[in-house]
Amino acid sequence: MFENLSEKLQRTFKMLRGQAVLNEDNVQDALKQIRLALLEADVNFKVVKQLVDKIQDKALGKDVMTALAPGEQVIKIVRDELVEMLGQDTAKLKFGSQPPTVVLMAGLQGSGKTTTSGKLANWLKNGGHRPLLVSVDVYRPAAREQLRVVAHAIKGNIYEGQVTEANTGTVERLAKEARREAVNTGCDVLIVDTAGRLHMDEQLMEEMQLLKKLLSPQEILFVADAMTGQDAVRSADEFHKKLTLTGVVLTKMDGDARGGAALSIRHVTGQPIKFIGVGEKYDALEPFHPDRIVSRILGMGDILSLIEKAEQQVDKKKAQEIAIKALTGDGFSLEDFRDQVRQVRKMGSLQSLVGMLPRIGPFSGLQAAADKVDDKQISRVEAIINSMTAYERNHHEVINGSRRKRIARGSGTSIQEVNNLLRQYAQMKKMFKQMGKPSFARRMAGMKFPEM
Amino acid sequence: MIQTLFGSTQQKPGFLERMKEAVTRTRENLSQRIEEVVAFTKEIDRSTLDDLEATLIGADLGTATTHEVLEKLREKADRKQIRDVDELKRLLKEELLAILEQGNMRPVQKVDGMPEVILVVGVNGTGKTTTIGKLAQVLRSDGKNVLLCAADTFRAAAIEQLEIWGQRTGTEVIKTKAGGDPAAVLFDAIQAATARHTDYVIVDTAGRLHTKTNLMAELDKMRRTAQRIVPGAPHETLLVMDATTGQNGLQQARLFTQSAGVTGIVLTKLDGTAKGGVVVAITRELGVPVRYVGVGEKAGDLLPFNPKEFVDSLLA
């Protein structure tokens, strides 16, 4: 599914290439694919509609940037829009001026509140805090026992208390006792694990409101499963309306769910996603990075980071000029060759760069080429060309034996290496003449660096 | 009604009433919406059907299944010149029912005098242990002998949780210590059940993400262990899936079917607002049927799957 989607997008975007302005016709297909990608990633359909409309507005009439193909530019707009929507918030908790700071955990059944409570306590402990855990889940069998085991595993403090009756009164009493315990034992954060509840369960939601009133928590974290589908908006919305959430923890992110629920939840609550849960161990809690989850939602690997890099560093116009020159009689000079080499170097290590691309479609050739090249060779090639005079770079045929010797000495290479480069260059020049309209990727795929 | 540690108690007046109310409300909304569109266009055309797309995608059927269903509906509507809202709804339900009825996988026939082994699997937090408690209740009230096997030795307090369900339903639990080998406790449980001529052994397993290959391999080992003692075991492997699950549910079903040989699905937490439409996509692709639905936290809140009612609720 993942590959299929990327492939589809690649194909769509290939068609967009070479068009000057993004208009309604040429972005339509791209938008359709993006819509499907978002829906398959479980972003709520209403949120998808709004997003796609917004993206269309932003894309239409935009000049095609020199550094990017139009299709890539659409992806960039999508990426920017999604990242902006998710916000740049990092893992920070608000602390009260007077301890204990209270963190109330809320969420549906099975979203991972108890495990997350333990992870959060562990995280706080490592940050030099003294958290106290308490479970007010008097309903689910063995829920309180579970938190006790978790607390023990992280060597954290827990207030256990006594439960004789499973009702709101007991919940209230436990909460009060736990806060007193936190004060008495000098714990600066109180993490309150609550029973999982359905957002439409009025009675249990009232209990949450009561807890909120009683404890005035600095943080009310909504714990949500990354695998949640379309219903995420409804539950998050209800929880937010009744409790005014302050943040979200997205759990089970170590699976292969695309995590579109993150967008839905953020959309309806406007609250930052503070952490993600990435495993069953108690240290498997990470800060949330909007850009990473955006790639995941769109199912495009790190192609987005590549676009970002390319956008900063590769001047498409220059590449185009070189291509035109290479294909017309004038030919492709050693100077142009060096420009190409420099552009590749600017983008960072070739291996890592190519590694970011999907191994499919137009990129597969590039991958194959990159596998054969190492970065050291590229710098030697550049050194050799640097040691030539300007005249030599434009008229390679004048480079005779004594010039070769000089160039080899100047670049710290051998005459054989200079010979190799010149031979490769001559082949490349010939190839360019035969080639039709070369795309950047195709040129790269055919390019061979001298073997040294 | 909430089942608690201390038995069943009070509260939540008219829970079912509220559910029914909510269902009726949304159902009315949909009919209204269809009627509006119909009134506007005078006949059911492509745009009318396009409107249904949102309903199906909103119920987590996924884009592929939704488009397939709607394409078939389009053809039929075009051919039959359907103008009537009820007729259109009936056709759509027919399409969905047809998919759900493709789920024809059946549990393995058990050998007489041997226990039937039911393996319960799923990702974390879907409600496996609760479902087992309820399933024990169903079988007990059917006059069967049941043995529970606490093979979730990993999650904190999972064994204790199953024991409480054992007490509630009057069912014995075979267990080992936390962190023990799940295949070993499974072996013990099946041996005990065989010796006592118990009718059913229900095996609770630790929740695991389907992407964790080594944990999935552990399920395979458990299956092999069961098979060594009782031919054909596990007779039924139930995948417990949370109704709030989105499109990832399909991948879950694929991988659990691969490693654990899933024969049926239990769709839990259907008492919320989530529709659980991903099971339509699952049955469509894998032919795995839904066996039960979970609609609450009490022991009695496990119902046999009723495709007709489910389809009604999808469109509600």
Complex ipTM, two decimals? Answer: 0.84
Measured between alpha carbons, how far is B273 from B24 in angstroms, rounded to an integer? 13
Kindly report which listed range (A118-122, A176-180, A417-421) carries the lowest average pLDDT score.
A417-421
Q: Are A452 and A377 in contact (CB under 8 A)?
A: yes
Q: Is the pLDDT of residue B241 over 90?
A: yes
Bridge partner list, A193:
A135
Among A140, A198, A256, beta carbon nearest to B211: A256
List pLDDT tens digits, range B83-131: 676 788 888 999 999 999 988 777 777 777 899 999 999 999 999 999 9
What confidence score (pLDDT) does residue A43 get? 94
Chain B positions touching A239 (Cβ under 8 A) are none
Chain B positions touching A257 (Cβ under 8 A) are 246, 248
Measured between alpha carbons, how far is A132 from A130 in angstroms, rounded to an integer? 7
Cβ separation A110–B127 shorter than 8 A: yes
Burial class (CB in 10 A: 0-12, 13-18, 19+), A390: exposed
* Residue found by looking up tokens 């007729």 in the block: B87
Between A and B, how many CB-CB pairs are < 8 A? Answer: 159
More confidently predicted of A337 and A145: A145
CATH 1.10.260.30 residue ranges for chain A: 306-445
Chain A positions touching B163 (Cβ under 8 A) are 142
Spatial strand order of the sheet with A101-106 comes to A157-159, A131-135, A189-193, A101-106, A219-225, A247-251, A273-277, A285-287
Bridge partner list, B241:
B267
Element (H, E) at A131: strand A131-135
Among A45, A198, A203, beta carbon nearest to B272: A198
Q: Please state, for a pLDDT cut of 70, what percent of chain A lies above it.
A: 71
What confidence score (pLDDT) does residue A297 get? 82
Q: Please state, for a pLDDT cut of 90, what percent of chain B lies above it.
A: 70
Question: Which one of A325-339, A349-363, A415-429, B275-289 scores highest in mean pLDDT?
Answer: B275-289
Q: Which residue of B has its CA nearest to A43?
A: B246
Question: What b/e readout covers B276-292, taking b as 16+ CB neighbours within 10 angstroms?
Answer: bbbbbbbbbbbebbbbb
Among A139, A232, A258, beta carbon nearest to B2: A139
Query: What pTM was estimated for this model as a whole?
Result: 0.75
A209: closest CA of chain B, how far (Å): 17
Task: Determine the average pLDDT of the residues in B206-232.
Answer: 94
Q: Is the pLDDT of residue B189 over 90?
A: yes
Kindly report which listed range (A388-402, B25-39, B158-172, B189-203) carries the lowest average pLDDT score.
B25-39
CATH 3.40.50.300 residue ranges for chain A: 101-300
Q: Is the pLDDT of residue A404 over 60?
A: yes
Phi, psi of A60 (to 5 degrees): -60, 135
Q: Which residue of B has its CA nearest to A107?
A: B125
CATH 1.20.120.140 residue ranges for chain A: 3-86
Q: Which residue of A has its CA nearest to B271?
A: A198
Cβ separation B125–A111 shorter than 8 A: yes
Cβ separation B156–A149 shorter than 8 A: yes
- Any chain B CB within 8 A of the CB of A162? no
What sign does the CA torsion over B243, B244, B250, B255 have? negative
Task: Give, as one character, the DSSP assignment of residue A373.
Answer: -
What confidence score (pLDDT) does residue A148 get? 97
DSSP reduced 3-state for A437: coil
Bridge partner list, A101:
A189
Cβ separation A39–B274 shorter than 8 A: no
Question: Which one of A19-33, A353-367, A409-423 scores highest in mean pLDDT?
Answer: A409-423
List pLDDT tens digits, range A277-304: 999 899 999 888 887 788 788 776 545 5
A3-86 topology per CATH: Four Helix Bundle (Hemerythrin (Met), subunit A) (1.20.120)
Chain A positions touching B137 (Cβ under 8 A) are none
Q: Are A132 and A159 in contact (CB under 8 A)?
A: yes
Q: Please state, for a pLDDT cut of 90, what percent of chain A lies above it.
A: 47
Task: Determine the average pLDDT of the residues in A189-211.
Answer: 96
Q: Which residue of A has its CA nearest to B7?
A: A166
More confidently predicted of A274 and B9: A274
DSSP reduced 3-state for A216: coil
Span A306-445 CATH architecture? Orthogonal Bundle (1.10)
| CATH superfamily entry for domain A101-300 | P-loop containing nucleotide triphosphate hydrolases (3.40.50.300)
Task: Determine the average pLDDT of the residues in A69-94.
Answer: 79
- Residue A214 CB neighbours (<10 A): 15
More confidently predicted of A142 and B35: A142
Q: Is the pLDDT of residue A328 over 80?
A: no
Cβ separation A229–B125 shorter than 8 A: no
B75: closest CA of chain A, how far (Å): 23
Chain B positions touching A147 (Cβ under 8 A) are 156
- The secondary structure of chain B, three-state, reads CEEECCEEECCCCCHHHHHHHHHHHHHHHHHHHHHHHHHHHCCCCHHHHHHHHHHHHHCCCCHHHHHHHHHHHHHHHHHHCCCCHHHHHHHHHHHHHHHHCCCCCCCCCCCCCCCEEEEEECCCCCCHHHHHHHHHHHHHHCCCCEEEEEECCCCCCHHHHHHHHHHHHCCEEECCCCCCCHHHHHHHHHHHHHHHCCCEEEEEECCCCCCCHHHHHHHHHHHHHHHHHCCCCCCEEEEEEECCECCHHHHHHHHHHHHHCCCEEEEECCCCCCCCCHHHHHHHHHCCCEEEEECCCCCCCEEECCHHHHHHHHCC
DSSP reduced 3-state for A343: helix
Element (H, E) at A353: helix A350-355
What confidence score (pLDDT) does residue B286 get? 95
Q: Is the pLDDT of residue B13 over 60?
A: no
A358: closest CA of chain B, how far (Å): 21
More confidently predicted of A426 and A62: A426
Q: Are A138 and A278 in contact (CB under 8 A)?
A: no
What confidence score (pLDDT) does residue B305 get? 95
Q: Which residue of B has its CA nearest to A118?
A: B156
Among B126, B156, B209, beta carbon nearest to A110: B126
Q: Are A396 and A335 in contact (CB under 8 A)?
A: no
Question: Which one of A315-319, A394-398, B207-211 scores highest in mean pLDDT?
Answer: B207-211
- Residue A118 CB neighbours (<10 A): 27
Chain A positions touching B247 (Cβ under 8 A) are 40-42, 229, 258
- Any chain B CB within 8 A of the CB of A169? no
What's the token pair of residue B34?
């269809």
Chain B positions touching A114 (Cβ under 8 A) are 156
Question: Which one of A180-194, B3-17, B66-80, B105-119 scores highest in mean pLDDT?
Answer: A180-194
Task: Give, as one character, the DSSP assignment of residue A396.
Answer: G
Q: Are A67 and A314 in contact (CB under 8 A)?
A: yes
- Residue B138 CB neighbours (<10 A): 17
Chain B positions touching A44 (Cβ under 8 A) are 58
Q: Is the pLDDT of residue A312 over 60?
A: no
Measured between alpha carbons, how far is B74 from B80 in angstroms, rounded to an integer? 10
Task: Determine the average pLDDT of the residues in A23-41.
Answer: 82
Chain A positions touching B22 (Cβ under 8 A) are 200
What's the token pair of residue A11?
């194909």
What confidence score (pLDDT) does residue A155 get? 96
Task: Determine the average pLDDT of the residues in B233-243.
Answer: 96
